[in-house]
């Protein structure tokens, strides 16, 4: 992941990018909840991603098919940076060679949450997980590679101990994880639901 790969020889024609003057705008907004499941799990039908019945089954399942929903969070995923090699006289004209995309650290906060819940989130660091994102509009952000509902692979999940805050800063736990370079290549957003932000595990 994160390595730039090229098809050789190149295709006869460069693929078209913009095919409509008024392309559809995509704005994901604020991430407010996370949904985890074990790496490699997926839903075969995209319609399942907006089905309360499908998610109820996942959230109440046992074994590998179980999905876990986080408390309310605030999360920022910054843009990735290039993976480069060489400088100065090592490379032609001193311009680094771009060989891919670096992994990115996503960081967020969980406010005013019982530490028994936080402890369970800490324990998830031992799991091999994928994550999906629920935004302020009750939409799910997921990976639609192979026309399925996949999560994004998570590495190095960390959840901090409690920060007790002060008169002007409330109690919170910080958390972070890494997403591989190219993580958003198949990022897709569902239609708005009426239930994802209210989802809980049974």
22 within a domain of the structure (yes/no)? no
17 within a domain of the structure (yes/no)? no
85 within a domain of the structure (yes/no)? no
pLDDT tens sequence across 126-166: 999 999 999 999 999 999 999 999 999 999 999 999 999 88
64 within a domain of the structure (yes/no)? yes
121 within a domain of the structure (yes/no)? yes
pLDDT of residue 22: 81
H/E run at residue 102 = none
Mean pLDDT of 46-73: 95
96 within a domain of the structure (yes/no)? no
- Provide the number of structural domains found in the chain: 1
pLDDT tens sequence across 6-15: 888 888 898 8
Residues spanned by the domain of 173:
31-80+101-198
Q: What percentage of the chain exceeds 90 in pLDDT?
A: 83
pLDDT of residue 58: 96
Mean pLDDT of 157-183: 95
Helix, strand, coil percentages, rounded to 5, for the chain: 20, 35, 45
pLDDT of residue 7: 83
By CB atoms closer than 10 A (0-12, 13-18, 19+), residue 180 is middle
Mean pLDDT of 189-198: 96
Task: Inform me whether the pLDDT recorded for 1 exceeds 70.
Answer: no
In whole numbers, what is the pLDDT of the chain averaged over residues?
A: 94
**pTM beyond 0.85, yes or no:** yes
pLDDT tens sequence across 14-52: 888 888 888 788 899 999 999 999 999 999 999 999 999
How many H helices and E strands in the chain? 2, 14
10 within a domain of the structure (yes/no)? no
Mean pLDDT of 170-198: 96
25 within a domain of the structure (yes/no)? no
Q: How far is CA 67 from CA 39, 42, 60, 99, 160, in A?
A: 11, 10, 8, 35, 22
């Amino acid at each position: 992941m994160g390595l730039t790969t090229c098809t050789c020889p190149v295709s006869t024609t460069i693929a078209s990018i913009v095919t409509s003057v008024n392309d559809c705008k995509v704005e994901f907004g604020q991430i407010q909840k996370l949904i985890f499941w074990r790496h490699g799990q997926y839903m075969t039908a995209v319609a399942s991603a907006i089905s309360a019945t499908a998610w109820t089954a996942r959230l109440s399942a046992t074994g590998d098919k179980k999905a876990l929903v986080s408390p309310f969070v605030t999360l920022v995923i910054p843009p990735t940076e290039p993976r480069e090699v060489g400088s100065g006289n090592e490379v032609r004209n001193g311009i680094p060679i771009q060989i891919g995309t670096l992994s990115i650290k996503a960081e967020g906060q969980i406010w005013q949450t019982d530490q028994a819940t936080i402890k369970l989130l800490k324990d998830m660091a031992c799991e091999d997980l994928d994550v999906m994102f629920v935004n302020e509009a009750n939409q799910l952000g997921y990976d639609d590679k192979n026309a399925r509902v996949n999560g994004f692979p998570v590495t190095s999940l960390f959840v901090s101990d409690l920060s007790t805050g002060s008169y002007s800063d409330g109690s919170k736990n910080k958390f972070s994880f890494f997403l591989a370079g190219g993580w958003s290549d198949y990022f897709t957003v569902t239609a708005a639901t009426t239930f994802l932000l209210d989802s809980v595990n049974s």
